[in-house]
Each structure stands twice: as structure tokens, then as C-alpha cells.
């Protein structure tokens, strides 16, 4: 059964007008906000999250149970009806996340944490260890649920679904995301 939201999302940009922006897809009280590292160039130019051809995010979301059908990047706002939102940790669009510096994450950290506090999701899911490590100053980040919350929400770290990340097979990604789905949706009365 889909998680139905009665509130509309509040448009929010993840960067200043002078940079290529990718709009957040957020609403108060979501079950999970997925936090990408930063916008890819195609995502920033189209205004659609995880728009790259090789990105496995949408397929993984469907196979892990977050969406009842396979969504496409142009359907990214549909995630709200399933209790999920999207944002990025660093605003600058790059071809590869490795092009970002730790200083960029540090500079974005307080605004990002305030954003999570304002929208108050049950979980904030970092896609990859890079952003949380840089923002928290911790070097050793484990996969899964973190001991310390982030912005008042439970923090969870998932493997990045980027096509450039071949350290994780599709099955491994689906299994990792499915764990979060179980944690976020089986404890509450709503289920995807």
C-alpha cells in the first residue's frame, strides 16, 4: 500500500542561483530522504535526480520495494507519494563525485543538517560514505544504520548506485536498500 502524503513538497534548491542546481524533492515527515553525494552533470542540466544512463538508483529502488513500479528520472517527484524524498549533500554538479573536495562538504554541512532538521524524515540515507564522512569528520563509516543521528534523523549509509561504482553488484545494492526499506516501513503502519 503506498504511503500517501497530504502535504505538497516545498521547492528547495541545493545550491545558489550562480551554480547549476538540482531541486530537492522534499516534504515534512517523510520516511526516508535519499541523499546523493552531488548532482551529476546530466541531472543538473535536466533538473532530474539520478538521470545518468548508467545510474542504477531507480532500478534498485523498485527492486528493493520502495516503488511499486520502475520509475524514471522524469518521475522523480513521484517518490513523495511513497514516503521518500531526494536531496544532495554538496550542491556543485560534477562529472564524478571524486571531483569534490572535503572543504565543499564541510562548507555545505551546516545548511544540509538544518535542512534535514527542518524536514524531519525518519531516516536520512547517505548514498556512499563520502558525504557523511566529510560532514561528520569521521573517517570510519560503516554501512547501514549509524550510531549517531544526523540532523535529528536516523542516519543510514547505503552503497552509491552510480554506474561508476562497480564495487557493488545490482543484487548487493538491492539487498542493502531492502534492509533500509524494512527498517523504515515495517515498524510503522505504512508500507510501500
Q: Answer yes or no: 49 catalytic.
A: yes
Which position among 49, 55, 160, 181 bears the catalytic label? Answer: 49
Which position among 3, 38, 55, 181 bears the catalytic label? Answer: 38
Take residue 82 and report the three cell numbers written for it: 511513497
Take residue 85 and report the three cell numbers written for it: 524524498
Take residue 19 and report the three cell numbers written for it: 551554480
Contacts of 133 (CB under 8 A, 6+ apart): 139, 141
Contact criterion met (CB below 8 Å) for 22 and 39: yes
Side-chain half-sphere CA neighbours of 112 within 13 A: 28
Q: Answer yes or no: 181 catalytic.
A: no
Active centre residues (catalytic) = 38, 49
Amino acid at each position: 500500500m503506498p504511503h500517501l502524503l497530504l502535504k505538497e513538497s516545498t521547492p528547495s534548491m541545493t545550491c545558489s542561483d550562480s551554480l547549476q542546481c538540482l531541486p530537492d524533492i522534499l516534504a515534512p515527515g517523510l520516511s526516508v530522504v535519499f541523499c546523493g553525494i552531488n548532482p551529476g552533470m546530466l541531472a543538473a542540466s535536466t533538473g532530474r535526480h539520478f538521470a545518468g544512463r548508467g545510474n542504477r538508483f531507480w532500478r534498485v529502488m523498485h527492486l528493493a520495494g520502495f516503488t511499486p513500479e520502475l520509475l524514471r528520472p522524469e518521475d522523480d517527484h513521484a517518490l513523495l507519494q511513497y514516503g521518500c524524498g531526494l536531496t544532495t549533500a554538496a550542491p556543485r554538479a560534477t562529472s564524478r563525485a571524486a571531483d569534490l573536495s572535503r572543504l565543499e562538504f564541510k562548507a555545505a554541512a551546516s545548511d544540509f543538517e538544518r535542512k534535514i532538521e527542518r524536514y524531519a524524515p525518519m531516516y536520512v540515507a547517505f548514498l556512499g560514505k563520502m558525504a557523511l564522512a566529510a560532514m561528520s569528520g569521521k573517517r570510519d563509516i560503516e554501512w547501514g544504520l549509524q550510531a549517531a543521528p544526523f540532523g535529528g534523523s536516523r542516519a543510514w549509509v547505503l552503497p552509491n548506485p552510480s554506474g561508476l561504482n562497480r564495487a557493488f553488484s545490482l543484487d548487493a545494492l538491492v539487498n542493502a536498500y531492502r534492509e533500509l526499506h524494512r527498517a523504515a516501513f515495517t515498524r510503522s503502519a505504512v508500507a510501500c
